[in-house]
A and B are shown apart, each in its own frame.
Chain A
Amino acid sequence: MFVVENLIRNASSEKETLSILVINEGFDDYILSLAESMNHKFYLINGIAPGIAQWSLQESASNIYLYNSIDALPEKHIDVIICFNRGKTFDIANQISNQLHVPLIVVDFCESNKLLPLPLTATINIPDQERAAYYYKNGDASVGVDNTVKRSWVGQVPSLSFEIPYPFSPFNEGGQRNKILIDTKMPTEFLNTLNLQGSPYVTQDPNEAFVYVHLWQVKTPLLYKCMSSKIPAIVFDREGFADLLNQKLCILGDNHIGIFSADSYQRLVQHEHLGELANQAYEFMSKNTLEDFSSKWNNIFNHVCNKTLLRG
Chain B
Amino acid sequence: MNVFFVGPYRQSDNWGKVSRSFLRLLHSQENVDVVSRPIFYNVNSTVKDIGVLENGEHKKLSERDIIIQFGLPITFVYDGTFKKNIAVTMVESKVENIGWTTSLNQMDQIIVFSETEKRLLEESGVTTEITALEVAPFAFDNSMSEEIKIESNNRTIFYTDARPSDSSGLEQTITSYLNTFTSGDNVGLIVFSNQNEQEAVQKVIEDTKQKLSIFSDDRNYPSISIVPNKNQDILNYAHNNLSFYISIANNSVIGNEVMQAFMFNRPVILLDTYGKVLDGDSEYPLVVKSNEVVCKTTSRSYPSMNYGKDTWNQACEVSLSRMMLDVYNNDNIVQLSKELIGIFNMNFDNKTSTGVGKAICL
Contact = CB atoms under 8 A, between A and B. Distances in A.
Given A4-B75, A4-B79, A8-B79, A308 B38 contact: yes
Given A3-B39, A3-B75, A5-B77, A308 B57 contact: yes
Q: Which of A10, A12, A312 has the most CB of B within 10 A?
A: A312
Given A5-B79, A10-B37, 6 more contacts: A4-B75, A4-B77, A8-B61, A101-B39, A101-B40, A308-B58
Contacts of A98: 40, 43
Interface of A: 2-5, 7-8, 10-13, 98, 101, 306, 308-312
Q: Which of B37, B58, B61, B67 has the most CB of A within 10 A?
A: B37
A13 B61 contact: yes
Contacts of B39: 3-4, 7, 101
B79 A311 contact: no
A11 B46 contact: no
Nearest to B40: A311
B274 to A, nearest CB: 31
A7 B44 contact: no
Contacts of B40: 98, 101, 311-312
Which 6 residue pairs of A and B lie closest in terms of their CB atoms, listed nearest first?
Answer: A312-B46, A308-B57, A7-B37, A311-B43, A2-B77, A13-B60
Nearest to A4: B77
Given A11-B4, A308-B37, A310-B38, A4 B46 contact: no
B37 A11 contact: yes
Contacts of A7: 6, 37, 39
Nearest to A5: B77
Nearest to A7: B37
Contacts of A310: 10, 38, 46
Task: Say what secondary structure dominates the interface of chain B.
Answer: loop
Nearest to A13: B60
Contact of A312 (B37, B44, B58): B44
A309 B37 CA distance: 8
Contacts of A10: 37
Given A308-B37, A311-B40, A311-B46, A4 B61 contact: no
A12 B60 contact: yes
Contacts of A311: 40, 43, 46
Interface in B1-49: 4, 6, 10, 35, 37-40, 43-46
B284 interface: no
B69 interface: yes
26 contacts: A2-B75, A4-B75, A4-B79, A5-B79, A7-B39, A8-B4, A8-B6, A8-B67, A10-B37, A11-B4, A11-B59, A11-B61, A13-B62, A306-B60, A308-B38, A308-B57, A308-B58, A309-B37, A309-B38, A310-B46, A311-B40, A311-B46, A312-B40, A312-B43, A312-B44, A312-B46
